[in-house]
Amino acid sequence: MESKQAHSKTMTLHLKVWRQKSPHEPGKLVDYDLEHVNPDMSFLEMLDILNQKLILKGEEPVAFEHDCREGICGSCSMVIDGNPHGPQKSTTACQLHMRHYHDGQTIVIEPFRAKAFPVIKDLVVDRSSFDRIIQAGGFISVNTGSAPDGNATPIAKENADLAFDAATCIGCGACVAACRNGAAMLFVSAKVSQLSLLPQGQAERSERVVKMVYQMDSEDFGGCTNMGSCAGACPKDISLENIARLNREFMKSMISGRKSYPNRKGGATEGSPA
């Protein structure tokens, strides 16, 4: 009863929100006081209330990305008080609830900051660099025919578990936003790991890792220096072990000589991307 009463109390929050009209215009933090915030609201619902208020005042609402609001799609990418997706571990911004804040608190909300993720508007950034990495090799191009029966392809339990863990990456980009170098190694390693651990991913295994790493290097991502901030900020707890696996996969592919690493002019060079 006591907690129900506590939760029914609303809060007033002081928001500092990054407003930027377009990629070519400078942005700035704008102050908003938001009253009647229910602690049971999600963070995005709180932003919805802010936007309703702005629309009623005839002002431009804050642009922010969202889709599933269930922690699945990876759309709700924003930096809250300096943390990609906010201060709660293993939690996307859409799954963050206002009960973790107190009346009168100031919250700073910014877009993901990375050269490879340029701001489009307010809190929305362009993450199509991730799409291009997936297009470079994050798929299986064999003709699989109709849907196979479940368990028709035996997979070792350990590999199935590791592949599933890697597959939980939602491609939100928090790893890039948390990295001081703006590196995308955790994302790429999760995608490479998922396919390299499964029988279906073996046919293109050697080429896939080189193509994806090359595309990653062609975008504006920084190099990995093993700081681990990426894994700490990941809302899906993707492990750094995937980065170790990516490096092994890359080295094996290069040593086998089955794939050369192209240089920026399209020729071939030997050498590691990192």
Say whether residue 237 binds ligand FES (CB under 6 A): no
Work out whether 46 is an interface residue with ligand FES (CB under 6 A). Answer: no
Nearest distance from C-beta of residue 45 to ligand FES, angstroms: 12
User: Mask of contacts with ligand FES, 55-74, x by CB under 6 A?
Assistant: -----------xxxx-xxxx
In DSSP terms, which residues pair with 17 in a beta bridge? 30, 109
Asked whether position 84 contacts ligand FES by CB under 6 A, the answer is no
Binding to ligand FES by residue 76, rule CB under 6 A? yes
Closest CB to ligand FES among 171 and 182?
171
H runs (alpha helix) in the chain: 2-8, 43-56, 128-137, 157-167, 174-178, 185-196, 205-218, 229-233, 241-256
Site for ligand FES in 124-183 (CB under 6 A): 170
C-alpha dihedral (160, 162, 165, 170), degrees to nearest 10: -90
Is residue 16 a contact point for ligand FES (CB under 6 A)? no
Asked if 90 interacts with ligand FES (CB under 6 A), we say no
Our finding on whether 193 is near ligand FES (CB under 6 A) is no
| 13-to-32, 35, 116 alpha-carbon distances in Å | 8, 6, 32
Residues whose CB is less than 8 angstroms from the CB of residue 246 and which lie 6 or more positions away in sequence, other chains included: 185, 188, 189, 192, 193, 209, 213
At its nearest, how many Å lie between ligand FES and the CB of residue 80? 13
- Residue 191, both tokens: 């995608």
Quote the least distance from Cβ 44 to ligand FES, whole Å: 7
Residues that bind ligand FES (CB under 6 A): 66-69, 71-76, 92, 94, 170
